[in-house]
Structure 1
Amino acid sequence: MKALSPHFFRHEFSCPCGCGFSDVSIELVAILEGVRQYFERPVFIKKGCSCTHYNKICADEYASQHLLGTAADFIVDTIEPDKVADYLEAKYAQQYGIGRSNTYTHIDVRAAAVRWWE
């Protein structure tokens, strides 16, 4: 297992289809390390990288940041997703893509600040 940081490994970000795509952004990993440190809880990646084939299977026909290895959908152990999104939006008010869901938080390292709710 190849470590990307003290708490994250490349396989955690691999495309679920098994193609092996796992070229994840180191900037993204650093943000997730910061989330883990802030909440002092484990962070679990639900979706990291996606190849174009898997993206279509998931009906994500748009130009997803997951295709670039610059996005993650994740949960923080025992912490509500809204609290995680609140933290990210406060810390990165003018940066990144931050999405809210009832079951996870999305973060991506795109150039512009974008916010949404699912």
Structure 2
Amino acid sequence: MRYARASQVSWDKARWPNFRAHEFACKCGGRFCKGEYWHDPDFLDRLQAMRNVLGPLVINSGHRCALWNAAVDGAPRSRHKTIAADISLMGHDRHAVLNAARSAGFNGLGLAQTFLHVDRRSIPATWYYGQKSRNLWKS
């Protein structure tokens, strides 16, 4: 469900104790929206499962309003326009993060140099963000 602002959602702190809605809200800084947020409890449950295994996770990007997605050169059909997350790899073993994402049931996996993109989709997909990313993930 889409909200005009992350502050409008009733956040279940017991269910998702390690995250807050604003982490997943659009980061356009008010240029195009007012912190638009897409709420998906199943998605958040899966992220919390990853957090329970890996420890602290930093969300670089969550939902993006359509104009912000275009401004950051996001794919026209990006899952970020509904709900997806780019998780920072800093402080984590990249393969451990990937394994945790798969175990949590994420099946849209974008392997970048500094982050892992996760989403849920009807047809599973895994991709690299360029040759440097491919080389890092293959090592």
Asked if the contact 1:42–1:77 (Cα under 8 Å) also holds between the matched residues in 2, the reply is no
TM-score for both structures, normalised by structure 1: 0.84
Identify the match of residue 12 of structure 1 among 23, 31, 56: 23
Asked if the contact 1:82–1:100 (Cα under 8 Å) also holds between the matched residues in 2, the reply is no
Identify the match of residue 85 of structure 1 among 98, 108, 120: 98
User: How far apart in 2 are the matches of 1:35 and 1:87?
Assistant: 5
Aligned-pair CA distance for 1:82? 3.3
Residues 32-53 of structure 1, C-alpha deviation per residue, up to 9 Å, x if partnerless? 11111112x1011100000011
Structure having the higher Rg: 2
Match of 2:85 in 1: 72
Match of 2:57 in 1: 43
TM-score for both structures, normalised by structure 2: 0.72
Deviates more, 1:104-113 or 1:76-85: 76-85
User: How far apart in 1 are the matches of 2:96 and 2:128?
Assistant: 14
Asked if the contact 2:60–2:88 (Cα under 8 Å) also holds between the matched residues in 1, the reply is yes
Residues 65-107 of structure 1, C-alpha deviation per residue, up to 9 Å, x if partnerless? 0001x20001255213333113323x267x6201111101110
User: How far apart in 2 are the matches of 1:81 and 1:51?
Assistant: 28
User: How far apart in 2 are the matches of 1:73 and 1:25?
Assistant: 16
Which residues of 2 match residues 54-73 of structure 1 at below 5 A? 54-68=68-82, 70-73=83-86
Match of 1:3 in 2: 11
RMSD of aligned alpha carbons:
2.0
Cα distance change, pair 29–92 in 1 and its aligned pair in 2 (3 A): closer
SS of 2:47 mapped into structure 1: helix
Alignment gaps of 5+ in structure 2: 1-6, 130-139
Q: How many residues align?
A: 114
Alignment gaps of 5+ in structure 1: none
